[in-house]
């Protein structure tokens, strides 16, 4: 099939060629806005559609315009990338031009062969949709491979570029070809008709898709920048953590050396450094430098040449980076040992000879803390970085030695960025310690105001740094990916299909006219079906004339009003739905047709005369010169009942039927507002049932629910009509007392509540005993608003619980102060734990027979800058109540094992340490795993760590205790029962517990000289323990008489002020050395 196309005259052909060139040039900016990286392919290329459409209509005479337009376009696109050689751009442009021209020529031939110009049948439209993507394969196949061969795109971009190129041409043909044919294709009457129904929707849809695509790209870019800022902040946090870790490392090494009086050997330095450096690529070396006076220089160099390096001498670094022998001066701080293998000339490098390093050393000497240099070039690699110093020796003079860490700044930044998952970025790191003098440290290529820049300030020793990070160009290119491309391509494809649909619809115009008669008949049938549907509708439907008289009604009206539907026509509408205020029916219906939903609820009257709520929707329908009203009515009776049920559920407790928290707060606010106006007092009683959790767990939730309901009924029986009772949740209730009140009357009510709730509860064959603690707050004395009164009543309730439950307390400011102190201690303890503000003190434990020190008990101490020294009996209960006891106990365990590891290195391996475990720590379930982790970390002998639990904690769940003690014993730990004699332990369980010793509480030891009962208890305890194979430790030994008594009764060990008071770790080391009790000391 070869359809006839009219021949164009030469002026038309010239105009067509110029138009094609103009389209190619004019679409450059639009295509660039939609391009995916690297920018050679656009998902929408209208020029392909315009060229193909004109080639179909005008023939091969328009090929010069297509070739020249394509060549200009691709030359311009190639010139936008300065990294691409001009020869490559020219070669690619020629090849792409050939592909573009070949595609238009072959496509025109196929369209002329298989598609009729009118495109007025489903077959022709289908062929158009099928041929478009097939033809557009040509340009993509010809042009994209040279992009890769010429190095203009990366290998991973081949597939995406090819798909984008093919999709852009295909969508360009689907969208632009029909628009072009509207201007010039035959038959002209049909295509001119399509200008209105095809062109406008197609252009609007394409514009909407492009705008959506731009929004998607903007969203993706914002997402990518947000991701970058998050990763940049993570990288900065990791850098700050690395800085802090370096400071802690040098500080720990220096303190260890300073405390022990030791010096570093090369082997010890290598061991310490290898353990620390691990995968830290930013550390270029860890060095040890020593102080040398000028008088000792020759002897020192001779010694170093013998023991360190045959070529060793004290050296300086010249300004141009050369290493030369150091000039004579009063003193030196030369490098003795180093872990760096990059430059053997580092040996002897005098850190005191160069001003930058000397300034850092001077600051280190003055402050006694680690100090960092200004930015410098590292001697080992020549890369930018900084050097961290920490001296070993007394404050105020050049140290006898210094531990030194050289840090490569570029590696530091990149390692932190890699750990944060950041790879494509630019950065700069500047030293801003002196704001007036910013010192660059290191950077990549950095623009003046990079997009998405993220600035973070960092601290390292005494220096301050500004880290600036910004996404690289490659990073910013990533957002324009498949998501936005899919939005654009999918939207344009749908737009193209819309165009095809519009073409098909417009081509069917004649056929539609032929079917008008048939459709008219179908309309009549549809009306009959519509009436049947109306009769089966659930809602009542009326038609009412302009005077307000019913014309018709469906079957549902009978169920609603009770009248047969056939009797309703001719009845006034207001007889069924009375108008408010005697409003006339036409005016009422006109108003309802424009009313809001809440204004459409009226009252209806049924055949029995009952009034019921209903909703009505009215539509005014124009029928020629007249109009009618269509009314849809629905019964609201059930809906109103449901609303009432919902309100009750929203404002009342489902279990007890009392007002819930929301309703109670509303009621209390209203009561307070009334009290403010009248001056009457208001009392708030906060009630908490005693032992509720125990009852709930022991007897089941059903019993707990019955207890709550019964308690609510008892309290309701005590209250007046003006009082309010509500349930906040759980076992907490609130009573709001109104009307005339006095403290005595409130006291009387509180007493009655406590007494009523203390009475036993009888549930079937089960008797349950509970009780209540009540807190009372009064308005206006204890608070001006509902939240304050409830909080103060709650505080008073907890005070009542602390007083022994089963009573009530009025709120007082002292309670608030106690609560404030509790919160203050809790917050300060969290801060102390985070900032390493707790200390361990050690109290020696000795053998009673010899007085020899065999270990110590670990005691927790806390000194706060604001609170001063806080006694354990003051902060430990707060820690236990707040849950802080778990991380606090974990810190004590970790520090104790670290201390044992240090003692092991110092030759104090024979000593043991005893740590007291809290009840929550012992029963928490995580103890074994944490101990295994700490053992693996510190590599200590577990028998040197004794874990103590109190007798009370052990007997809370004896079977669980027995199992856990066996598991701890299997790991090698020593185990002890602390404060023995103060609890209620069973001798049977004591025999089964896998323990090593028991500790006699100091309460029995202190009076053994004067109290025969205490003396007999201590003697019996020692005898009992020995009969069970257990050792005995006596606490609180303060006199020689006590010591003698315990030795006489064959006690094993003791601790107390007689032997040593609790002391810090360092003082304990001195104490041990003075006693000289440990072999090898």
Rounded distance between C-alpha atoms, residue 419 and residue 13, angstroms: 64
Q: Look at residue 32 in the predicted model and tell me its pLDDT.
A: 58
From the list 817, 812, 786, the residue with the least C-alpha distance to 800 is 812
How far is it, in rounded angstroms, from Cα 959 to Cα 963? Answer: 6
Confirm if 28 and 73 have CB atoms less than 8 A apart.
yes
Highest mean pLDDT among 256-265, 337-346, 501-510, 798-807: 798-807
Tell me if residue 190 falls in helix, strand or coil: helix
Has residue 510 got a pLDDT over 50? no
pLDDT over threshold 70, residue 25? yes
Higher-pLDDT residue of 956 and 4 is 956
Alpha helix (H) residue ranges in 594-685: 637-651, 661-678
In the prediction, which pLDDT does 514 show? Answer: 40
Percentage of the chain surpassing pLDDT 70? 89
Give the phi and the psi of residue 977 in degrees, each rounded to 5.
-95, 120
| Least confident interval from 183-187, 407-411, 854-858 | 183-187
Give the number of other Cβ atoms within 10 Å of residue 1073's Cβ.
12
Tens of pLDDT, residues 684-728: 999 998 888 878 877 888 888 888 899 989 988 888 888 889 998
Supply 721's token pair. 């009509």
Report how far Cα 70 is from the mean position of its chain's Cα atoms: 52
* Helix (H), strand (E) counts: the chain: 38, 36
Domains and CATH numbers, the chain: 10-186 (1.10.1760), 236-471 (3.30.450.350), 535-636 (3.30.450.20), 652-811 (3.30.70.270), 845-859+885-1075 (3.20.20.450)
Peptide bond into 38 cis (omega under 30): yes
Furthest CA-CA distance within the chain: 134
Average predicted confidence (pLDDT) for the chain: 83
Residue 325 tokens, joined: 């022998």
Q: Evaluate if residue 70 carries a pLDDT over 70.
A: yes
DSSP for residue 295: G
User: Residue 1047 — very low, low, confident or very high, per pLDDT cuts 50/70/90?
Assistant: very high
Q: Is 287 helix (H, G, I), strand (E, B) or coil?
A: strand
Report the alpha-carbon distance of residue 56 to residue 134 in Å, rounded.
16
Fill in the DSSP letter of residue 344.
G
- Lookup result for tokens 């164009």: 8
Tens of pLDDT, residue by residue over 739-748, are 788 888 888 8
CA distances from 518 to 449, 522, 523, 529 (A): 71, 6, 9, 17
Render pLDDT for 462-481 as a digit per residue (tens, 0 to 9). 889 999 988 876 666 554 55
More confident residue, 212 or 506: 212
Q: Give residue 1045's pLDDT band: very low, low, confident or very high (50, 70, 90).
A: very high
Question: CA-to-CA distance for 492 and 485, rounded, in angstroms?
Answer: 10
Instruction: Output the pLDDT for position 105.
Output: 93
Direct distance between the N- and C-terminal alpha carbons of the chain, in angstroms, rounded to an integer: 111
Q: How far is CA 67 from CA 5, 500, 847, in A?
A: 23, 28, 104
pLDDT at position 358 over 90 = no
* Per-residue model confidence as pLDDT tens digits over 862-899: 998 888 888 888 888 888 877 888 899 899 999 999 99
pLDDT of 506 > 90? The answer is: no
The contacts of residue 127 (CB under 8 Å, 6+ apart) are 114, 115
- Please check the confidence at residue 668 and state whether its pLDDT lies above 50: yes
pLDDT at 1081: 37
pTM: 0.41
Q: What is the pLDDT of residue 448?
A: 47
Ranked by mean pLDDT, the top range of 219-233, 566-580, 1038-1052 is 1038-1052
Mean pLDDT of 638-654: 78
Count of residues making up the chain? 1081
Higher-confidence residue: 1061 or 817?
1061
Contact 734, 687 (CB under 8 A): yes
Instruction: Dump pLDDT digits (tens) for 129-160.
Output: 888 889 989 988 998 888 878 877 777 677 87
Half-sphere exposure of 855 (CA within 13 A, CB side): 22
Distance CA 85, CA 90 (A): 9
| 63/436 Cα distance (integer angstroms) | 67
- Predicted pLDDT of residue 454: 87
Give the β-pairing of 838-847 and 853-864. antiparallel
CA contacts within 13 A on the Cβ side of 475: 24
What pLDDT does 2 receive? 47
Residue 728 to residue 653: CA distance in whole angstroms: 9
Given 3-state DSSP classes, what are the helix, strand and coil percentages for the chain, each rounded to the nearest 5?
A: 55, 20, 25
């Amino acid at each position: 099939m070869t359809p006839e196309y009219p021949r164009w005259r030469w002026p038309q052909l010239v105009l067509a060629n110029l138009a094609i060139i103009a389209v190619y040039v004019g679409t450059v900016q639009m295509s660039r806005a939609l391009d995916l990286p690297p920018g050679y392919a656009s998902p929408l290329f209208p020029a392909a559609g315009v060229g193909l459409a004109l080639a179909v209509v005008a023939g091969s005479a328009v090929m010069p315009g297509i070739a020249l337009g394509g060549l200009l376009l691709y030359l311009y696109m190639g010139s936008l990338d300065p990294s691409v050689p001009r020869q490559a751009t020219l070669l690619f442009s020629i090849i792409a031009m050939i592909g573009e021209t070949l595609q238009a020529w072959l496509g025109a031939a196929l369209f002329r062969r298989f598609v009729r110009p009118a495109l007025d049948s489903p077959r022709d439209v289908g062929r158009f949709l099928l041929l478009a993507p097939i033809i557009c394969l040509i340009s993509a196949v010809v042009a994209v491979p040279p992009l890769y061969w010429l190095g203009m795109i990366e290998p991973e971009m081949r597939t995406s570029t090819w798909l984008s190129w093919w999709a852009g041409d295909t969508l360009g043909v689907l969208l632009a070809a029909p628009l072009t044919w509207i201007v010039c294709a035959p038959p002209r009457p049909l295509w001119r008709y399509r200008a209105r129904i095809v062109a406008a929707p197609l252009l609007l849809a394409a514009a909407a898709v492009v705008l959506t695509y731009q929004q998607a790209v903007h969203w993706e870019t914002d997402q990518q920048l947000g991701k970058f800022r998050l990763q940049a902040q993570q990288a900065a946090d990791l850098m700050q953590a690395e800085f802090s870790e370096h400071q802690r490392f040098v500080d720990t090494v220096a303190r260890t050396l300073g405390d022990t009086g030791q010096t570093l050997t090369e082997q010890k330095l290598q061991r310490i450094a290898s353990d620390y450096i691990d995968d830290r690529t930013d550390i270029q070396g860890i060095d040890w430098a020593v102080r040398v006076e000028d008088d000792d220089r020759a002897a020192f160099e001779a010694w170093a040449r013998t023991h360190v390096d045959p070529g060793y001498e004290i050296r300086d670094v010249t300004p141009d980076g050369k290493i030369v022998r150091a000039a004579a001066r009063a003193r030196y701080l030369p490098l003795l040992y180093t872990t760096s293998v990059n430059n053997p000339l580092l040996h002897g490098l005098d850190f005191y000879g160069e001003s930058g390093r000397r300034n850092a050393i001077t600051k280190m000497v003055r402050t006694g803390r680690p100090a960092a240099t200004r930015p410098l070039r590292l001697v080992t690699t020549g890369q930018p970085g900084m050097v961290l110093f920490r001296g070993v020796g007394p404050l105020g003079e050049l140290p006898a030695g210094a531990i030194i860490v050289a840090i490569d700044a570029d590696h530091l930044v990149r390692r932190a960025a890699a750990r944060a998952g950041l790879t494509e970025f630019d950065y700069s790191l500047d030293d801003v310690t002196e704001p007036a003098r910013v010192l660059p440290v290191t950077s990549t290529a950095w623009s003046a105001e990079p997009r998405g820049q993220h600035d973070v300030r960092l601290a390292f020793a005494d220096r301050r740094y500004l880290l600036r990070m910004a996404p690289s160009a490659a990073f910013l290119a990533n957002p324009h990916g498949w998501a936005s491309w899919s939005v654009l391509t999918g939207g344009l494809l749908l737009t193209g299909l819309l165009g095809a649909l519009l073409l098909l619809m417009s081509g069917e115009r004649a056929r539609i006219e032929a079917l008008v008669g048939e459709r008219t008949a179908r309309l009549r049938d549809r009306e009959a079906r519509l009436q049947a549907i109306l009769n089966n509708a659930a809602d009542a439907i009326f038609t009412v004339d302009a005077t307000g008289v019913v014309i018709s009604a469906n079957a549902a009206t009978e169920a609603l009003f009770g009248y047969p539907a056939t009797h309703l026509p001719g009845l006034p509408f207001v007889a069924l739905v009375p108008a408010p205020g005697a409003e006339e029916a036409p005016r009422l219906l006109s108003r309802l047709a424009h009313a809001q939903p809440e204004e459409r609820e009226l009252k209806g009257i049924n055949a029995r005369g009952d009034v019921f709520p209903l909703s009505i929707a009215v539509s005014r329908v124009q029928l020629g010169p007249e109009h009618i009203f269509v009314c849809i009515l629905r019964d609201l009776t059930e809906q109103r009942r449901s609303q009432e049920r919902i309100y009750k559920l929203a404002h009342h407790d489902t279990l007890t039927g009392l007002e819930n928290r929301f309703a109670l707060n509303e009621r209390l606010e209203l009561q307070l507002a009334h009290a403010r106006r009248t001056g009457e007092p208001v009392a708030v009683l906060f009630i908490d049932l005693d032992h509720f959790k125990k009852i709930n767990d022991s007897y089941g939730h059903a019993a707990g629910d019955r207890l709550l309901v019964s308690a609510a009924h008892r309290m309701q029986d005590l209250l007046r009509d003006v009082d309010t009772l509500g349930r906040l949740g759980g076992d907490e209730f609130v009573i709001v007392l109104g009307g005339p009140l006095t403290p005595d009357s409130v006291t009387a009510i509180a007493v009655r509540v406590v007494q009523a709730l203390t009475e036993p509860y009888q549930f079937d064959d089960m008797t349950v005993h509970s009780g209540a603690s009540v807190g009372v707050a009064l308005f206006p004395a204890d608070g001006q608003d509902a939240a304050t009164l409830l909080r103060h009543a709650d505080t008073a309730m907890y005070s009542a619980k602390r007083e022994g439950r089963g009573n009530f307390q009025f709120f007082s400011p002292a309670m608030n102060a106690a609560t404030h102190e509790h919160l203050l201690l809790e917050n300060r303890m969290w801060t102390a734990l985070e900032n390493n503000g707790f200390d361990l003190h050690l109290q020696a434990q000795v053998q009673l027979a010899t007085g020899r020190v065999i270990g110590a008990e670990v005691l927790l101490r806390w000194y706060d800058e604001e609170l001063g020294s806080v006694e354990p009996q003051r902060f430990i209960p707060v820690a236990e109540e707040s849950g802080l006891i778990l991380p606090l106990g974990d810190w004590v365990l970790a520090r104790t094992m670290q201390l044992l590891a240090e003692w092991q290195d110092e030759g104090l391996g024979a000593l043991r340490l005893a740590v007291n475990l809290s009840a929550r720590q012992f029963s928490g379930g995580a103890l074994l795993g944490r101990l295994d982790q700490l053992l693996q970390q510190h590599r200590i002998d577990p028998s040197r760590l004794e874990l103590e639990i109190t007798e009370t904690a052990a007997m809370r769940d004896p079977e669980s205790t027995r199992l856990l003690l066996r598991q701890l014993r299997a790991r090698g730990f020593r185990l002890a029962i602390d404060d023995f004699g103060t609890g209620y332990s069973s001798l049977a369980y004591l025999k089964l517990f896998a323990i090593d010793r028991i500790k006699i509480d100091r309460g029995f030891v202190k009076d053994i000289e004067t109290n025969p009962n205490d003396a007999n208890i201590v003697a019996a305890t020692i005898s009992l323990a020995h009969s069970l194979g257990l050792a005995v430790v006596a606490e609180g030994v303060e006199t020689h008489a006590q010591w003698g008594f315990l030795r006489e009764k064959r006690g094993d060990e003791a601790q107390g002020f007689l032997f040593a008071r609790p002391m810090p770790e360092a003082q304990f080391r001195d104490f041990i050395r003075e006693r000289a009790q440990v072999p090898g000391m």
